[in-house]
Amino acid sequence: MQQHHFQFGPTFTPPFIKIFIGTIFIINLVLSIFDYLFPDLYLPLYLGLSWFCFEYGFIWQFITAPLLINPTHFSTNFFVHLIINCYLIWTLSVSIYTRLSKKNFYGFIIGAWIVIDLAASFSILGSTAFSYFNGNTALLCGLAIAFMMLNPHSNIFLLHTLKLQARWIILFFLGLSFVLNIINHHWPLFFAYLFAAIYAYFYSLLIWHARSEIAVLTPIEIRLVKFSWAMKNFFTIRPKQNDAEFMDAMLKKIAEDGRQSLSKKEKRRLDKISKKKKH
């Protein structure tokens, strides 16, 4: 008899991601229980970003705010939200990590953290009403866009029959979250989600040279990737490559980003080497 195995998540999880997901789960669960038992203390105020943070100089909130689920009140909805967020952050993080080096993944996460904190902070400082920010879902937005860029043709099967492209599902839910935050005037969340998505898009495009493969964006993405390669070559000091080394490097570049990613100078040298080989 044929056996079907259900895969709940990634088969291998790097230690850093295990610690990361475990920290998110534990800090949110403990905080919500304490908030339920001691509501007068309102502990989330000491860990999320708010005017309170800036007034008293609680700088640790810039580290803790992107870890927290919003809202933090202990309830069934909170618990479901926490489980879903942890699962999605886990699967997306592992997928991105396995495609990149450790250094690239860590750099992306640190950058996203900073962007989310800055976007939420400026929104809070620019608001006349009391604003409060917990940004775990903003971090999830950034990871989702990065996943979309690295896996533009990835599919999701609903009920094993309906095939949908992951990028359209990601963009739909991201757009929905924007609309809901605008309607509810949750400006710190709105700007954190928005800038996390923008950061992830341009980081993936300019640093990893990944493209969304969305037709309307393709021309500008190709130009930006070429510009990124040009800047990288300009600021990289290295000895002149011999013809064989140059050919290997160009073939790798073409395989990753297409011939259109080559500069005019690179194309001229490539053509020159090809002519030499013919003679």
For residue 108, give the CATH number of its domain: 1.20.1540.10
pLDDT(159) > 60: no
At 132 the three-state DSSP class reads: strand
Predicted local confidence at residue 192, as pLDDT: 93
Q: Are residues 36 and 135 in the same domain?
A: yes
pLDDT(239) > 70: no
Among 206, 240, 266, the domain boundary falls at: 206
Q: Are residues 167 and 199 in the same domain?
A: yes
Q: Are residues 222 and 184 in the same domain?
A: no
At 261 the three-state DSSP class reads: helix
DSSP character for 241?
P
Quickly tell me which residue has 């699967």 as its tokens. 91
pLDDT(77) > 70: yes
Q: Taking residues 79-106, what's their average pLDDT?
A: 90
Tell me how far the alpha carbon of residue 53 is from its chain's centroid.
26
At 228 the three-state DSSP class reads: helix
In a domain, 5, yes or no: no
DSSP character for 9?
S
Tell me how far the alpha carbon of residue 193 is from its chain's centroid.
11
Categorize the per-residue pLDDT at 1 as very low, low, confident or very high, splitting at 50, 70 and 90.
very low
Helical H runs in 38-150? Answer: 51-56, 61-64, 76-99, 102-125, 136-150
Q: Are residues 179 and 251 in the same domain?
A: no
pLDDT: which is higher, 269 or 224? 224
In a domain, 161, yes or no: yes
pLDDT(12) > 90: no
C-alpha distances out from residue 140 to 23, 92, 254, Å? 15, 8, 31
Count of structural domains, the chain: 2
In a domain, 233, yes or no: yes
Predicted local confidence at residue 5, as pLDDT: 43
In a domain, 123, yes or no: yes
pLDDT(270) > 90: no
Q: Are residues 268 and 164 in the same domain?
A: no
Tens of pLDDT along 14-45? 999 999 999 999 999 988 888 888 878 777 77
Predicted local confidence at residue 276, as pLDDT: 73
In a domain, 49, yes or no: yes
With a pLDDT cut of 70, the percent of the chain lying above it is: 89
pLDDT(162) > 80: no
Q: Are residues 201 and 240 in the same domain?
A: no
State both tokens at 163. Answer: 């095939």
pLDDT(238) > 80: no
State both tokens at 184. Answer: 């509810």
Categorize the per-residue pLDDT at 157 as very low, low, confident or very high, splitting at 50, 70 and 90.
low
The helix-helix angle for 187-206 and 218-235 (nearest 10°) equals 70
Among 206, 237, 256, the domain boundary falls at: 206
Cβ proximity of 123 and 65 under 8 Å:
no
Predicted local confidence at residue 86, as pLDDT: 94
Count other Cβ atoms within 10 Å, centred on residue 65: 28
Among 178, 206, 234, the domain boundary falls at: 206
In a domain, 4, yes or no: no
**190: CB partners within 8 A, 6+ apart:** 123, 178, 181, 182
Range of the domain at 226: 215-278
pLDDT(195) > 60: yes
Predicted local confidence at residue 19, as pLDDT: 94
Predicted local confidence at residue 72, as pLDDT: 67
DSSP character for 160?
T
At 165 the three-state DSSP class reads: strand
Predicted local confidence at residue 6, as pLDDT: 42
Q: Taking residues 133-153, what's their average pLDDT?
A: 91
In a domain, 10, yes or no: no
Q: Are residues 195 and 227 in the same domain?
A: no
Tens of pLDDT along 202-219? 999 999 889 888 889 989
